[in-house]
Amino acid sequence: MPANNFNIQGLSDEQIKTAREKYGSNRLSYKKENGFIDAVISLAKEPMVVLLLVASAIYFISGDIGDGIFLAAAIVLVAAISLYQNTRSRNALEKLKTFTQPSCKVIRNGKVEEVKSEELVVGDSMLVEEGSSVAADGVIIHSNDFSVNESILTGESLSVYKDKSKEDNLIYLGTTVASGLAAATITAIGNETRLGKIGKSLEAIKEEKTPLELQINNFVKKMVIAGAIVFIIVWAINYFRSYNVLDSLLKALTLAMSILPEEIPVAFTTFMALGAWRLMKLGVIVKQMKTVETLGSATVICTDKTGTITENKMSLAKLFVLSSLKISDPENI
């Protein structure tokens, strides 16, 4: 693919330096998070976990060490499963974020060069051909029988034919060249690309609480309020009868604990964690335990098929061999 076929000079070294100083590197950057600490904080905010922590503390204070240890062990088990699953999911998502073509071809100083994708700058003359991925957004300045698969952006599997003379003469980061070749002037890199803006917009989406989560929050609040009221009443009655502060506190705590159904949060959090664990073992990325509850209540899943689940391509699955009159796998032939 010699440069003189396109009659393109490309950027000079000085222009490349100026563009890099102005626009930065061609990298998709995301909000940095301390994954482990954030996961611990998120887990500590779960109403059921809070209820377990309170119940465990009360058991230890009231001298019921056995039940306190049991609840503490349940908390540790659920936390361990949740944090491990969260770490695995986070690592998998980080690998998806690093999806990028390691190198691409550009015309600089009148010559075709192969450079790392992150070294591309705005104004570069990028060359793309069949089978390659587009490394930045750009406008086509020359093309030959050129079409692009934009399913990563649109979900549509059909290739889109593009030409500099057409209204749609733009190519985008992450799309794949289906046929032909093209030269394009880069107009956006990194987070300023169409794909980068989509990624940044997703970070701004706030997660909504699930119906079960709202019910649990309401349930826990009612139980805590009821327990607190019972605790205060019982403590006041016993104290004014005996004037023994410690004995009154222990009796009030014991009765308050009978109101808190600690078995429910143990069962709920354990089964949610185990459900997320089983999904993870099947290769499903589970970011949060509540996903299990949401997925479990789904009866119909609506999704685009072609380009999302399927590729609109035929593939050889089985062979019927006439000589043996048997059906065989292609790899066994």
What's residue 258's pLDDT?
A: 65
Q: How far is the C-alpha of 157 from the C-alpha of 310, rounded, in Å?
A: 9
What's residue 282's pLDDT?
A: 76
What's residue 286's pLDDT?
A: 67
What's residue 263's pLDDT?
A: 62
What's residue 288's pLDDT?
A: 65
| Domains of the chain, earliest start first | 3-13+103-200 (2.70.150.10), 35-96+207-296 (no CATH)
Q: pLDDT in tens for each of the 333 residues of the chain?
A: 544 567 788 889 899 999 999 988 888 776 665 566 776 777 777 666 777 777 777 777 767 788 778 778 877 877 777 777 667 666 665 665 555 557 889 999 888 999 988 899 999 999 999 988 899 999 999 988 899 988 888 877 788 999 888 888 999 998 889 999 999 999 999 889 998 888 777 777 676 777 777 777 787 778 778 878 887 888 888 878 877 776 777 677 667 666 666 666 666 666 777 777 777 777 776 666 666 667 777 788 787 666 566 666 677 888 888 888 888 887 776
What's residue 97's pLDDT?
A: 56
CA distances from 147 to 44, 159, 310 (A): 51, 6, 20
CA distances from 218 to 47, 48, 193, 294 (A): 9, 11, 43, 18
- List the one residue out of 241, 17, 216 whose CA is nearest residue 109: 17
Structure tokens of 273? 């964690």
CB-CB contact of 259 with 227 (8 Å): yes
Question: Count of alpha carbons within 13 Å of 233, Cβ hemisphere only?
Answer: 8
Alpha helices in 100-158 (DSSP H): 151-154
What's residue 47's pLDDT?
A: 67
